[in-house]
């Protein structure tokens, strides 16, 4: 029992930086791009900061550790403030996952550079960096699922013709049930595993070109 508790606590400590970074970077990117495109709602809500306190939902963070499904404080956006609402909403929605992928790439790049220069990385340090890498990739993949209210659903809705977009938005009432099915069945793993591998291979290929 105590060994299990100790293992859980060590997992929390090692995983906390990765989860906090992934959540903070994700929401900050949404806020920053929305602000740049003319919607000052995130600015007024104090979301144009990399301070995790502004973005982390403590209960959502706890749920990530307990059931592997959690959330941050969503960035509120008013598309009517955009010059081109559909295009700009797509850009804002894509900003979070893209920021997560950039963060994941930087984490892997740092690990590779440290290895090549012979920097002595402890097991704990390797674990922390590895989890920053994996959690950011996972955040990007998960949020790009076309399930309301995830980022992928915003992108898909804005790409669809108006009538189809309205019908698609109607499934939001079932989104929690859909997410439960994904979480309780192998479906999510069938999506995550190949995409994780593809992203990691792409990152490694890019780094191999320059290092």
Q: Which residues are catalytic?
A: 27
CA atoms within 13 A on the CB side of 136: 29
CA distance 62 to 58: 6
From CA 79, how far away is CA 33, in angstroms rounded? 12
Contact assessment for residue 99 and residue 25, using Cβ atoms and an 8 Å cutoff:
yes
What are the residues whose beta carbons fall under 8 Å from the beta carbon of 26, sequence distance 6 or more?
Answer: 55, 72, 96, 97, 99, 100, 139, 143
């Amino acid at each position: 029992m105590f060994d299990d508790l100790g293992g859980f606590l060590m997992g929390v400590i090692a995983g906390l930086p990765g989860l906090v970074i992934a959540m903070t970077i994700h929401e900050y990117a949404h806020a920053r791009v929305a602000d740049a495109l003319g919607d000052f709602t995130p600015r007024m809500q104090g979301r144009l900061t990399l301070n995790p306190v502004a973005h982390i939902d403590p209960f959502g963070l706890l749920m990530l550790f307990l059931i592997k499904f959690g959330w941050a404080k969503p960035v509120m956006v008013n598309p009517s403030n955009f010059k081109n609402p559909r295009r700009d909403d797509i850009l804002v929605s894509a900003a979070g996952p893209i920021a997560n992928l950039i963060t994941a790439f930087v984490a892997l790049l740092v690990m590779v550079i440290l290895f090549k220069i012979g920097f002595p990385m402890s097991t704990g340090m390797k674990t922390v960096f590895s989890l920053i890498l994996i959690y950011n990739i996972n955040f990007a993949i998960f949020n790009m699922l076309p399930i309301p209210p995830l980022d992928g659903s915003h992108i898909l809705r804005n790409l669809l013709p108006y009538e189809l977009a309205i019908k698609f938005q109607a499934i939001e009432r079932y989104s929690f049930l859909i997410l439960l099915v994904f979480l309780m069945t192998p479906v999510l793993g069938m999506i995550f595993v190949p995409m994780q591998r593809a992203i990691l291979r792409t990152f490694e290929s890019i780094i191999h070109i320059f290092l």
